[in-house]
Amino acid sequence: MSKAGPGHARLLAFLLAISALALVSCATRVPQVLTSQIVPETFIAKSAGATPVWPSEDWWQGFGSPELSQLIRAAQESNHDLAAASARVMEARALTLIARSSLFPKLDVQLQAQRAGSRASSTASGSSTPSSTLSSGLSTPSSGRSTADVFGADAVASYGLDVWGLARANLRAARESVKAKRFAQQALALSITANVANGYFSVLALRERIAIANEDITAINGILEIIKLRVSTGTSSHLDLAREQAQVESVESQLPLLEQQELEARVTLAVLLGRPPEAFEITAQNSEDIRLPAVMPGLPSELLLRRPDVAQAEADLASAHANLDAARAAFLPQFSLTGDAGFASAAASTLLHGPSFIWDAGAHLVQTIFDGTLIGRKSLAYATQRELVADYQSAVLVAYADVERALGQVSKNSEAVDHLRREVDAAREAFGIAQLQYREGAADLLTVLQAQQTLFAARDQLAQTELARMQAIVHLFAALGGGWSESPRDRTQLLGPPTQLFRPSR
């Protein structure tokens, strides 16, 4: 072999430099799309000077209910939607293994044994009588058979050189997809935990409302007995009796609806826990022992590190960008190395002997001149990236809006609860006075009925508003990420100056 001259060496160095430059340039940065327009400086509903209290990972413990904590643990272990989400994470990891395999050589081993045969025919020579020839009209053939055995053992290796980063881009896309599925699982776990808490509080609130209705019916029946006695003595009319009976029926008509709602809430809760509803029960009868934990967000920029759904959208965008890198790299020449080595022999006993060894090696370069599929895939990858840029920015805005709504709900429902409690106290006092005056004949039945209706409506509204406040607190815990935080190594988006923002380019 002749020695390479200086020109060949310079050409080789130039090709290596171009390849290295292309290798670096193919892995591009994920587009940075966070802007100050979608990241506020502070929350509108946050109290001035309030100390941030971010949720802990076991935030539901702050409500002080052992039964609620037990239900949430059961849901985290047995919820079927969570099990499906976990399986999706496993599927994504399996796809990562498939994508990683492209970075390693492929080796196949083949053993073979083959027998081949042939048969040759010829016409027999010699004289024959005319009579025999005429009678038969055919010549007598003679045949010979031969067979040959071939034994072989081959190892075939092939390796695609990832010069332009196509395989690595596909691997990055697969890894980001794993992250997205993992974040989706964690977002679902947070949602299910919040739903369990909301369902539990709904059951307790409905039981309180049922108890209020029963107490109201008892009070009405007490007045009804007085009316019946006064009607029998002629001191009251049948009009008063009819009014009070109508009041009883009105309240009693609400009981079946409340009981059905309570049943539906328990059934929904059982499904969240992965249990059949028939054997599922809730022990607590009211929310008197429920505490209201404190929670308050810090800087809005910190929220982006605490929302698994935002992190999912971020990973989806990073995966789409890796797919776009892969689509671009697919247009460049693809290099591969192949090698084949093995033994071939006519006898198995001599297969592994030196003279039977054969080998070959080669290199291949494939450059696509025109392929409409590649063009379509690149256009699809570019459009998908643009879509996921918008999805990510939307997820960020939704996260901030979610916190704002939850903060407002907690604040306004707390104010409403304070007013309703004072209303209930005043209505209870008014009802007691009206009952006393009616017994003494100083007030008519209509006054008693109005006071009674006011008290019942206020107590029922208070129970509903207290439920709304508890669920608003749960909403705020979930909106603040429920104690979840994104690892720094998983981040691909940073809040930076406009020069770092996404610029669409094909």
Mean pLDDT of 13-22: 50
Give the pLDDT band of residue 411 (cuts 50, 70, 90). Answer: very high
Give the 3-state secondary structure of residue 473. Answer: helix
Q: How are beta strands 141-161 and 106-123 bridged, if at all?
A: antiparallel
Task: Please state the length of the chain.
Answer: 506
Give me the pLDDT at residue 500, please: 43
Query: d(Cα 328, Cα 54) in Å, to the nearest integer?
Result: 43
Mean pLDDT of 362-375: 81
pLDDT tens sequence across 61-73: 999 999 999 999 9
Which range, 103-117, 274-288, 489-503, has the best average confidence (pLDDT)?
274-288
Q: Given a cut of 90, is residue 13 above it in pLDDT?
A: no
Q: In whole angstroms, how far apart are CA 155 and each of 355, 358, 493? A: 17, 11, 46
Q: How many CA atoms lie within 13 A of 229 on its CB side?
A: 7
Q: Going edge to edge, which strands form the sheet with 334-345?
A: 106-123, 141-161, 334-345, 357-366
Mean pLDDT of 441-463: 90
Check residues 222 and 69 and name the one with the higher pLDDT. 69
Query: d(Cα 392, Cα 138) in Å, to the nearest integer?
Result: 88
With CA atoms as reference, report the closest residue to 75 among 280, 308, 337.
Answer: 280
Mean pLDDT of 358-369: 78
**Tell me, what amino acid is at 490?**
D
Q: What percent of the chain has pLDDT over 70?
A: 84
Give the 3-state secondary structure of residue 77. Answer: helix
| Structure token pair of residue 477 | 């815990």
With CA atoms as reference, report the closest residue to 72 among 184, 182, 191.
Answer: 191
Query: d(Cα 453, Cα 445) in Å, to the nearest integer?
Result: 12
pLDDT tens sequence across 269-318: 999 999 999 889 999 999 999 999 988 898 888 999 999 999 999 999 99
DSSP class of residue 305 equals T
Query: d(Cα 313, Cα 397) in Å, to the nearest integer?
Result: 12
Give the pLDDT band of residue 131 (cuts 50, 70, 90). Answer: very low
- Answer yes or no: are the C-beta atoms of 329 and 165 closer than 8 Å: yes
Give me the pLDDT at residue 153, please: 79
Q: Given a cut of 80, is residue 326 above it in pLDDT?
A: yes
Alpha helices for 125-165 (secondary structure H): 130-136
Task: Look over the chain and give the mean of its residue pLDDT values, rounded to a whole number.
Answer: 85
Mean pLDDT of 44-50: 67
pLDDT tens sequence across 238-261: 888 898 889 889 889 999 999 999
Give me the pLDDT at residue 15, please: 47
Residue 152, beta-bridge partner list: 112, 344
- Answer yes or no: are the C-beta atoms of 314 and 492 closer than 8 Å: yes
Q: Given a cut of 80, is residue 405 above it in pLDDT?
A: yes
Mean pLDDT of 73-94: 96
Give the pLDDT band of residue 504 (cuts 50, 70, 90). Answer: very low
Alpha helices for 273-360 (secondary structure H): 300-303, 308-329
Q: Given a cut of 70, is residue 506 above it in pLDDT?
A: no
116-130, 158-172, 363-377: least confidently modelled range: 116-130
Q: Which class would CATH give 28-104+164-332+369-500?
A: mainly alpha
**458-481 burial code (b ≥16 CB/10 A, e <16):** bbbebbbbbbbbbbbbbbbbbbbb
Q: Given a cut of 80, is residue 495 above it in pLDDT?
A: no
With CA atoms as reference, report the closest residue to 177 among 264, 111, 96.
Answer: 96
- The whole-model pTM stands at 0.81
In degrees, rounded to 5, the angle at the alpha carbon of residue 68 between the alpha carbons of residues 66 and 73 is 95
Give me the pLDDT at residue 306, please: 95
Give me the pLDDT at residue 498, please: 43
- Answer yes or no: are the C-beta atoms of 167 and 114 closer than 8 Å: no
Distance of CA 488 to the CA centre of its chain: 20
Which range, 224-233, 251-260, 369-378, has the best average confidence (pLDDT)?
251-260
Give the 3-state secondary structure of residue 155. Answer: strand
DSSP class of residue 348 equals G
Mean pLDDT of 167-179: 94
Query: d(Cα 295, Cα 119) in Å, to the nearest integer?
Result: 93
Check residues 5 and 261 and name the one with the higher pLDDT. 261
- Answer yes or no: are the C-beta atoms of 43 and 300 closer than 8 Å: yes
Give the pLDDT band of residue 501 (cuts 50, 70, 90). Answer: very low
The three-state DSSP-derived secondary structure of 382-434 is: HHHHHHHHHHHHHHHHHHHHHHHHHHHHHHHHHHHHHHHHHHHHHHHHHHHHH
Q: In whole angstroms, how far apart are CA 497 and each of 37, 56, 118, 160? A: 12, 32, 80, 40
Domain range list for the chain: 28-104+164-332+369-500
